[in-house]
Amino acid sequence: MPEFPSLAALDRLLGDLVVGEARRRQLGIVRGELGRALARGPLPTTARRSLRRLLEEEALAPYQRLAESGALRARQMAGGYPPTSEATNEARAQCLDLLRGAYGLPPLQLGAGGRMPLRPTPDSGTLVALRRQLDQDLGGAMSPGRTRSSAGPTTRTPAPPSATTSAKNSSTTAPATVSEPTSPARCSTEQRGDQELIRNIDAQRGPGEPCPLCGRPKPDLG
Q: What is the pLDDT of residue 99?
A: 96
In this predicted structure, the answer to whether residue 173 has a pLDDT above a threshold of 60 is: no
Residue 122 included in any domain: no
Q: Which of 69, 103, 137 is the last residue of a domain?
A: 103
Q: What is the pLDDT of residue 143?
A: 57
Residue 171 included in any domain: no
| Mean of the per-residue pLDDT values of the chain | 76
Length of the chain measured in residues:
222
Report yes or no on whether pTM surpasses 0.75. no
- For residue 220, give its domain range: 187-222
Q: Which of 68, 88, 103 is the last residue of a domain?
A: 103
Residue 178 included in any domain: no
Q: What is the pLDDT of residue 145?
A: 57
For 27-55, write each residue's pLDDT tens digit.
999 999 999 999 998 899 999 999 999 99
Residue 165 included in any domain: no
Residue 119 included in any domain: no
Q: Which of 61, 83, 103 is the last residue of a domain?
A: 103
Residue 220 included in any domain: yes
Phi first, then psi: give them for residue 210, nearest 5 degrees. -70, 150
For 108-132, write each residue's pLDDT tens digit.
876 444 444 445 566 677 777 777 7
Of residues 179 and 106, which shows the higher confidence score?
A: 106
Number of folded domains that form the chain: 2
Q: What is the pLDDT of residue 108?
A: 85
Q: If DSSP states are collapsed to H, E and C, what string results for 120-166?
A: CCCCHHHHHHHHHHHHHHHHCCCCHHHHHHHCCCCCCCCCCCCHHHH
Residue 155 included in any domain: no
Phi first, then psi: give them for residue 80, nearest 5 degrees. -155, -165
Residue 52 included in any domain: yes
**What does the pLDDT average to over 7-34?**
96
